[in-house]
Amino acid sequence: MSLQLNGFHHLTAVTADAPRNHAFYTQVMGLRLVKKTVNQDDTSAYHLFYADGLGSAGTDITFFDWPTGPDRRGTNSIVRTGLRIKGEKAFGWWSDHFKKHNVKAEKVSEENGRQVIHFEDFEGQRLSLVNDEADSETHPWEKSLVPAEHQIRGLGPITLSVPDLKPTDMVLTQLMGMTPATRFGDTFVYHMKGKGPVAELHVRVEPNLPRGGQGAGSVHHVAYNIAMSEYDAWADRLKQMRIPNSGKVDRYWFKSLYFREPNGILFEIATDGPGFGADEPMDKLGETLSLPPFLEGKRTAIEAGLKKL
């Protein structure tokens, strides 16, 4: 079987202020909270999933809520998350919107042949709005404060920083089936299956930077999208290529495999289903605390330890 990644599945970052994070991503950014749950390995922490109107794979930016100080910027880390919007009018609308909400944002510029706006959230999470040339189907959230035509369409591209390209390149191309494409400045572009920024991973080579450290404003890991039918084959591939990994992990809403690329950045391969409608009606996504079946018996204790959003 010829295995290829279908772009991004989700990206998980770190916040130290879940209520403010919830307000920023639902109200300022106009995303839908599609799953309010906990970190399955640390149930004292929220895991909040923000996405499009249907919680589609490839549209989720998610956050672990940990009581931590700011991150330490540097290499060996994921340094920027692209969020796709469409068309010149959208860039004008978002520029005005950021000014109204005092969001730290740069002016519209061009990067790798596309319009972009680089900006940060209140904790310094590095984000970009990126023009999406793909005409893929979109699923706006009807209750968003952002007009449907200007809403975020999903993730991509995502940018890593590494001190040495060669070992990362070997994993991206030989294990993960990505294709090296263009280069701009010190950034190398790799393509997955698909069209446009959702299928692009950018790798910035920065050997002179210190090693980055996790904290509020950092990215924890990036997840790549696969079909459920290919999950076993990807698990076998990791095993055959002797890549140290988590083995199969059932997250209930999707199935995962975790491993670190040679520069230490955590990667996840995640299935496109069953999806967030597995345990909640689609019109009620994210309204109550959702727990996978193996944590349901601990609900009272888990809820008692969480902040109100």
Residue 136 confidence (pLDDT): 84
Residue 27 confidence (pLDDT): 98
| C-alpha distances out from residue 214 to 6, 45, 202, Å | 27, 16, 20
On whether residue 199 sits in a domain, the answer given is yes
Residue 234 confidence (pLDDT): 98
Across 142-177, b (16+ Cβ under 10 Å) vs e yields eebebeeebbbbbbbbbbbbbbebeebbebbeebbe
With beta carbons less than 8 A apart as the criterion, state whether 10 and 155 touch. Answer: yes
Task: Note down the domain range covering 217.
Answer: 8-304
Q: What length does the chain have?
A: 309
Give the count of domains, the chain.
1
On whether residue 210 sits in a domain, the answer given is yes
pLDDT along the chain (309 residues), means of 10: 90 98 98 98 96 97 97 98 97 98 98 97 98 91 97 98 98 97 97 93 98 98 97 98 98 98 98 96 96 96 93
Strands, E assignment, the chain: 8-15, 32-39, 42-51, 60-65, 77-85, 104-105, 109-111, 114-120, 126-131, 154-162, 179-184, 187-191, 200-205, 219-226, 249-250, 254-260, 266-274
For tokens 């404060």, the residue is 145
Phi and psi torsions of 238, nearest 5°: -60, -40
On whether residue 3 sits in a domain, the answer given is no
DSSP letter for 24, please. I
On whether residue 2 sits in a domain, the answer given is no
- What CATH number has the domain bearing residue 191? 3.10.180.10
Cα 28 to Cα 150: distance, rounded to the nearest angstrom? 13
On whether residue 100 sits in a domain, the answer given is yes
On whether residue 144 sits in a domain, the answer given is yes
On whether residue 157 sits in a domain, the answer given is yes
98 sits in which H/E element: helix 88-100
On whether residue 309 sits in a domain, the answer given is no
Cα 40 to Cα 37: distance, rounded to the nearest angstrom? 9
Residue 1 confidence (pLDDT): 59
